Chain A
């Protein structure tokens, strides 16, 4: 724990926490940290608590807990210090853990994010890290798999497939080598939880992947991390090196028989590589073109070998499931959506950030109660849930519970839990056009419905928007959407119609102007 060591050496120095998360850095956290250090405090750089509207959020350790100040601009620091910041005095926002935003949450996957120094393996262990892996290593692989099945954990990447069932398939497959791949190609607009987890608590992901390796009999793992996240690449690479140095990766992990090593592979700016088979092609060094399924990656994945492919949040939820038991995790949530989900509030929102809570909270509670409505102060008009391939929903749908099945029934999808808010200045026909043009730009080109359909979609919406045979072209648009949904090889072409159709259905007036 670099923080604690330094604290021990220079007793009496106040410990102050300043995030090094790239979102916090994007609004000046580095300069704030420098000024606070210059004022004589011992500064520990952590991840972000996820209250992004308060960044840079400075926290001071006091007997009552960590007292917060934010947002703090570099030029505010000297005044705050003069007013007693280093003693938790002055104009603070109070004890961070007691803020309504934090109290409303149930942090399981994000339990350490914003609290620990992400570069410190000692800090990780001191805050409960490795408990899940130690438990798993005392169990047989099949028992670990069944524990994950019992937890009800479903893939947090979007499709929502039960994680334990996938693992069971890989465990049952016979091969000379098996792989665990983490899909950290978080390309969906409005999603940033993978990035924040990796930047704020990378050892949790490493531990989750190691548990997966033990459960399925894999010896090698890869994290496919997008190049747009250079801070995350650096943090994870350092964490893997630190884990290797401590015997948390490599041969005989924690003294067990498990051998598993982990590598980071950096993407190269292709959205489609967030699709699991494209990601595997890319990891093999090829163009990121999707594969037809079957065969499923669990049987023939990376280099044709049985492969676990899971999202960051799925894998990062596993250590807590093993540490606290599947029942504790399954006790949270509603219906077939068990446990917690990490929702992300973005776009035109007053209080944007991370909300980890059990499934079942409503869309309106997230956007209005926690998010505080729009940043512009104008009325909210639409939210897009689940990334660029998710539906646009009107405020009339704010009573929808965040639950895989409830969203599917409403013609929408939860996806990776990203929620993007738009105010009443949004032109929904323009957003529908953008969905097609994004698909045209990012299509891998393998199947015709996606490659050609996206281009035809842009043209058709342009004709509708300029009033050329509007009714006829709206029928054609629906026909095209049906064909892409049914005929595309993967979710890129198959789900691009979702934002388009939902825009037409809920905001039809924007297509009649």
Chain B
């Protein structure tokens, strides 16, 4: 089955083109397109960049510049779950740094990395808007408040299943 890789790449290019074309007439379409690509395909591959650029009539450098500027955009696949721990001032005031250290130790990864089994991507985030109920943690878009190390372990237990 030597054609699989090429086929997959062609399927992806086709999908990227569809996503970009469907949004091309929005004002300022690039960021909505990048969000949609990541939502649909998990990350924005380097090979996606010229495809999007062509649809929008931009240079690949312009698209690359945007992809790399914003923290949200992943350039490699993430874990099956993403846990983000707030490290901003309000959460620091109630122990967010210690919680972050606990999570890194427990998972054996740094912020921005994925566990070797592909289960969890761990990251830091600066403010989730839960500043009165910190430390705050977001797991796959779901907000959690007053997260103790024990509660964090329980959250990890849920996503690891």
Contact = CB atoms under 8 A, between A and B. Distances in A.
B143 A23 contact: yes
Interface in A412-453: 418, 420-423, 426, 431, 434, 438, 442
Given A53-B132, A187-B126, A346-B132, A265 B28 contact: yes
Contacts of B94: 347-348, 375-376
Interface of A: 22-23, 25-27, 52-53, 55, 186-192, 194-195, 220, 222, 227-231, 265-271, 282-288, 303, 344-349, 352-353, 375-376, 384, 388, 418, 420-423, 426, 431, 434, 438, 442
Interface string B95-139: 000000000000000000000000000000111111111101010
A422 B141 CA distance: 28
B89 A384 contact: yes
Contacts of A230: 141
A53 B127 CA distance: 18
B126 A438 contact: yes
B28 A283 contact: yes
A344 B133 CA distance: 12
A55 to B, nearest CB: 7
A348 B146 CA distance: 11
B132 A23 contact: yes
Interface residues of B, number: 41
Contacts of B32: 265-266
B91 interface: yes
23 contacts: A22-B129, A22-B130, A25-B142, A26-B130, A53-B133, A189-B91, A190-B131, A192-B130, A192-B131, A229-B128, A265-B32, A266-B32, A267-B72, A268-B71, A283-B27, A284-B27, A347-B89, A347-B90, A376-B94, A388-B126, A418-B90, A431-B92, A434-B89
Given A228-B125, A268-B72, A269-B72, A52 B133 contact: yes
Contacts of B126: 187, 189, 271, 388, 438, 442
Given A187-B127, A228-B127, A346-B93, 11 more contacts: A22-B129, A191-B127, A268-B72, A346-B90, A346-B131, A347-B134, A349-B132, A352-B133, A421-B93, A431-B89, A434-B92
Nearest to A438: B126
A468 to B, nearest CB: 24
Nearest to B56: A285
B146 A27 contact: yes
Given A27-B145, A388-B88, A192 B132 contact: yes
B32 to A, nearest CB: 7
A120 to B, nearest CB: 23
Contacts of B62: 286
B159 interface: no
B66 A287 contact: yes
A271 B124 CA distance: 13
Q: By CB atoms of chain A within 10 A, which of B28, B91, B144 has the most? A: B28
A26 B145 contact: yes
Nearest to A382: B93
B66 A286 contact: yes
A23 B86 CA distance: 14
B89 A186 contact: no
A55 B133 contact: yes
Contacts of B71: 268-270
Interface in B55-96: 62, 65-66, 69-73, 88-94
9 A-B pairs with the lowest CB-CB distances in the bound complex, closest first: A352-B132, A346-B131, A285-B30, A189-B88, A26-B145, A268-B70, A269-B71, A347-B93, A269-B72
B17 interface: no
B42 to A, nearest CB: 16
Contacts of A228: 125, 127-129, 138
A285 B66 contact: yes
B93 A420 contact: yes
B144 A26 contact: yes
A366 B27 CA distance: 43
Given A266-B35, A285-B29, A344 B70 contact: no
A344 to B, nearest CB: 7
A178 to B, nearest CB: 13
A266 B90 CA distance: 24
B136 A26 contact: yes
B143 A418 contact: no
Contacts of B37: none
A123 B66 CA distance: 41
Contacts of B93: 346-348, 420-423, 426
B129 to A, nearest CB: 4
Interface string B1-35: 00000000000000000000000000111111011
Contact of B130 (A23, A220, A282, A287): A23
